[in-house]
Chains A and B, each alone.
Chain A
Amino acid sequence: MAATVERFRCMMCGHDYQETTDLEEDRERSCPRCRSNSIRHLKNARPAEKHGE
């Protein structure tokens, strides 16, 4: 599976971020700001590049 830009939200600190990632990759996620593992994948959000963000 090709890597895509995905959006995530930390449920602990509320930090929204996006990351180029392969969702099938077996990798533990943590918030880049607070290191919490409560990382929610915002599935319905489209990659930011497509919006020109």
Chain B
Amino acid sequence: MDAGRHPRIELLTHSEVEEVSGYIGNFTARIRKKARYVDPKACNSCGDCAKVCPVVVPDEFQIGLSLRKAVYIPFPQAVPSSYLIDMEHCLGNNPLACGKCSDACERQAIDYDDRDEIVTREVGAVIVAIGAEPFDPRALDEYGYSHFENVITSMEFERLISAGGPTAGHFMRPSDRQVPKRIGFVQCVGSRNPAIGRPYCSNICCMNTVKDCLLIADHYPGTETVVFYQDIRAFGKSFEDMYQRSKEAGARYVRGLPGEVEEDVKTRNLWVTVENTTSGKVERHELDMLVLSVGVDPPRDLKKISKLLTLSKTSDGFFMESHPKLRPVDAPTKGVFFCGMCESPKDIKETVCQAGAAASRAGSLLNAGQIHIEAVTSRIDAVACKKCGLCAPICPYGAIQWKKGEVATVIEAACAGCGNCGAICQYGAVTMRHFTDGQLFAQVRAMLAEDPHQKVLVFACNWCSYAGGDMAGISRLAYPASNRLVRTMCSGRVSEEMMLEGFRNGAAVVLVSGCHYADCHYINANRQTVKRVQKVWDRLEKAGIRPERLQLEWISAAEGQKFAKVMTRLEEIRKTVTPDEIERGRTALVPKAKKGAAKAEAVAAVEVPA
């Protein structure tokens, strides 16, 4: 509400971002302001229009527990506080089929000719706060949500007990509108359940149930409440105290999740069968109502927003932050920040903290007026560029601009320096500052200059695998001394030619290693590594070289043990490589004549970074 009145905040409600272009400090957003069909300046929210509207549809805000009209205010605190027409359900404006709302409106606020409007806004930073979705419990049929009326979700419970809800806060069960005397809560519905693809804890459900138990005890003393749970996670300030208070108020906690829910057809009461894992006994509870404490799903628009802002998601399906501990509100794309549930399930307090942090990060960025970027960025040589455009689509940050027939250009402010563009360019036109082709090829040759057949050449990414090697070192883990590490910022920087160059110089085994998928520091740059390694395996096989001599591993900075283990296994492979095989690698992998010529030039010279 305050944001709506703030002179320096423009609030575009009932709108949708359709396109975002540009980069940190210079984003341009294309926004569709959807037609409201009611002039918000003229509307005084008297409600005369809704009184005469003949259309009734389920009210989304009340989760379908009550009805609304086709002309309505989405929810009581909506900004602006004015009506709008849901044209999908309205009887029609073209041709006009009803018109009762217009007739009833004294202020002539109804405008059937209103149309969607496209507006653009230039912004320096973007905060993504698109929330999350409640889990749909119909996927877990054993709880009977889809066929027993008195099985409801925790979201529906909130509406039923809310003073602003469909029953004005008079809590009642749906089947007979009687106040329930025995209420059960089932925890972890759609959380901590790998079988349905939701292995994560939804964070908010335990304390929400504890709060609900206290609410029931306060509003309806004498009501029995039973909570079926796996673990009660009451971490956070005063949460344990709240949990204990709910027990003192009469809530009974049964450790075990129901295996079956049945309904008594006469009373519509529910029989819940559960194994109490504390006592080891199977219990049957007769309840008037069962509340499913549903977990949190990633936002349904996540894919669309990911595409707009070149973001990625973690394995649980929520947005991936730049670093889970050190940059928890920053997106991998510079100038984009996260706030709230879209990044991970979190409660109000944590969301408010994150909102403040995201606003501060965006504010400090805008106030500074300039940014400092890493020196490791790409540069494209306009003369060498063959205008093929291969580099543009694989940039995880959309930092390369290219139009057909034109030389590609790098937006350095948006470039994060993964080097994927350098790895894919077959003409030596992309220079990755501080990790040029010349520098990397020179390292490969230098490392294999003496006794190459006794060496394992390792390309290790800066953030994870190289740090994993460090971890192995500081942990004093023993592993063979045959490996030689070439550090790159990302495994995506390692081109096919670099891998082959190792074999051309006599390496017995070559390893390409990078971050685990969920940890990639360059959104998803390491997916290109997989594609390149696959290609080189094919090429090695065609050349009569054992593809096993090329290996791929994801090693995180904490996996010192894995690093040592992989090195030991590579040494075992190295010992099996014969001198004949080494020689075959030297002779059979000649660079491709046409494209290799340009690359060879780049390889030959150790370039001096600009």
Which residues of chain B are within 8 angstroms of A38 by Cβ–Cβ distance?
551-553
In whole angstroms, how far apart are the Cα atoms of A28 and B550 in the complex?
A: 18
Indicate if the CB atoms of A40 and B537 lie closer than 8 Å: yes
Indicate if the CB atoms of A28 and B552 lie closer than 8 Å: no
Indicate if the CB atoms of B553 and A26 lie closer than 8 Å: no
Across the interface, name the chain B residue whose C-beta is closest to A27: B517
Indicate if the CB atoms of A37 and B554 lie closer than 8 Å: yes
In whole angstroms, how far apart are the Cα atoms of A40 and B534 in the complex?
A: 6
Indicate if the CB atoms of B550 and A11 lie closer than 8 Å: yes
Which residues of chain B are within 8 angstroms of A28 by Cβ–Cβ distance?
516-518, 554
Question: Is chain A's interface secondary structure helix, strand, loop, or mixed overall?
Answer: loop
Q: Enumerate B548-562 residues with CB–CB distance to A below 8 Å.
A: 548, 550-554
Indicate if the CB atoms of B569 and A12 lie closer than 8 Å: yes
In whole angstroms, how far apart are the Cα atoms of A39 and B527 in the complex?
A: 13
- Interface presence of B524 (CB below 8 A): yes
Q: How large is the interface on A (under 10, 10 to 19, 20 to 34, 35 or more residues)?
A: 10 to 19
Which residues of chain A are within 8 angstroms of B596 by Cβ–Cβ distance?
none
- Scoring B residues 109 to 153 as 1 if CB is less than 8 Å from chain A, else 0, what string do you get? 000000000000000000000000000000000000000000000
- Interface presence of A32 (CB below 8 A): no
Which residues of chain A are within 8 angstroms of B524 by Cβ–Cβ distance?
26
Closest CB in chain A relative to B455 CB, distance in Å? 18
Closest CB in chain B relative to A40 CB, distance in Å? 5
A38-B553, A40-B534 known; A11+B548 contact, CB < 8 A: yes
Closest CB in chain A relative to B575 CB, distance in Å? 15
In whole angstroms, how far apart are the Cα atoms of A28 and B537 in the complex?
A: 18
- Scoring A residues 16 to 50 as 1 if CB is less than 8 Å from chain B, else 0, what string do you get? 00000000001110000000111111000000000
Closest CB in chain A relative to B558 CB, distance in Å? 16
In whole angstroms, how far apart are the Cα atoms of A11 and B551 in the complex?
A: 7
Q: How large is the interface on B (under 10, 10 to 19, 20 to 34, 35 or more residues)?
A: 10 to 19
Indicate if the CB atoms of B552 and A37 lie closer than 8 Å: yes
Indicate if the CB atoms of A40 and B547 lie closer than 8 Å: yes
In whole angstroms, how far apart are the Cα atoms of A14 and B537 in the complex?
A: 14
Indicate if the CB atoms of B554 and A11 lie closer than 8 Å: no
Indicate if the CB atoms of A11 and B516 lie closer than 8 Å: no
Closest CB in chain A relative to B217 CB, distance in Å? 46
Indicate if the CB atoms of B527 and A26 lie closer than 8 Å: yes
Indicate if the CB atoms of B517 and A11 lie closer than 8 Å: no
In whole angstroms, how far apart are the Cα atoms of A28 and B517 in the complex?
A: 6
Closest CB in chain B relative to A20 CB, distance in Å? 15
Q: Enumerate B530-585 residues with CB–CB distance to A below 8 Å.
A: 534, 537, 547-548, 550-554, 566, 569, 573
Indicate if the CB atoms of A37 and B534 lie closer than 8 Å: no
Across the interface, name the chain A residue whose C-beta is closest to B546: A11
In whole angstroms, how far apart are the Cα atoms of A12 and B509 in the complex?
A: 11
A26-B524, A26-B527, A40-B547 known; A11+B553 contact, CB < 8 A: no
Contact pick for A12, options B517, B537, B551, B554, CB 8 Å:
B551
Which residues of chain A are within 8 angstroms of B553 by Cβ–Cβ distance?
36-38
Closest CB in chain B relative to A43 CB, distance in Å? 8
In whole angstroms, how far apart are the Cα atoms of A38 and B534 in the complex?
A: 9
Q: Enumerate B200-220 residues with CB–CB distance to A below 8 Å.
A: none
In whole angstroms, how far apart are the Cα atoms of A21 and B547 in the complex?
A: 23
Across the interface, name the chain B residue whose C-beta is closest to A36: B553
Which residues of chain A are within 8 angstroms of B516 by Cβ–Cβ distance?
28
Indicate if the CB atoms of A14 and B527 lie closer than 8 Å: no
In whole angstroms, how far apart are the Cα atoms of A40 and B552 in the complex?
A: 10
In whole angstroms, how far apart are the Cα atoms of A49 and B569 in the complex?
A: 34
Indicate if the CB atoms of A26 and B537 lie closer than 8 Å: no
A26-B517, A27-B517, A40-B537 known; A14+B552 contact, CB < 8 A: no
List the interface of chain B (C-beta within 8 A of A).
516-518, 524, 527, 534, 537, 547-548, 550-554, 566, 569, 573
Q: A14-B548, A37-B552 are known contacts; what are 10 more A-B pairs with Cβ within 8 Å? A: A11-B547, A11-B548, A11-B550, A27-B517, A28-B554, A36-B551, A36-B553, A36-B566, A38-B552, A38-B553
